[in-house]
Structure 1
């Protein structure tokens, strides 16, 4: 069974890129239009997503706010969550870690880098 990934971005073109990249790499992709939509989809899912990709700068609920909200839900306490952002300062990275981000990727997004990082994060634990 393929891994389930929730991808969140308020940009239509970015959602299309994320969905195409994920599907091509063999993931079961679900896309959300913003943080509130993503949180609703995560809560309503019959099983938790295996990984969440979220944009940071979105109206209503930012990526950091979404991450913090997901981390409060037991099924997402340890789920890998990657932040997609154009921000790269140390202060932002500290806030991302504090919110519970597993890591971040800078935009513009390199699809090959994304699939490589996902493969690492979703690989079975050794042993």
Structure 2
């Protein structure tokens, strides 16, 4: 079988790209309610701050001793809570420095789109 030369112009390539993008957009085009958008904007901050606060509560309730560098083993029944304490008290505190401002910005953007949507702009 003879190979035929395939010539595609830049305009045709651009048209194929737009067609592909439209197809992908139609696959993922779904409507999400506004409360769900607000919930998703707040979720990263809620998770990191929540895990940090649960670790702090467990540190106080189970009578753990020490500081973040010299923490003593702490048990709740047969379960050693030391890995959770170090993860919750150290890493979640650092992660919350990133996720809280990020969630605040996402919340502002969702609120701005919500206000714009009510003022007649189309949602995109």
**TM tier relative to shorter chain:** under 0.3
Q: Which has the higher strand share?
A: 1
More relative contact order, 1 or 2 (CA 8 Å, 6+ apart): 2
Determine which structure has the larger helix proportion and give its number: 2
> What TM-score comes out, normalization by structure 1 length?
0.19
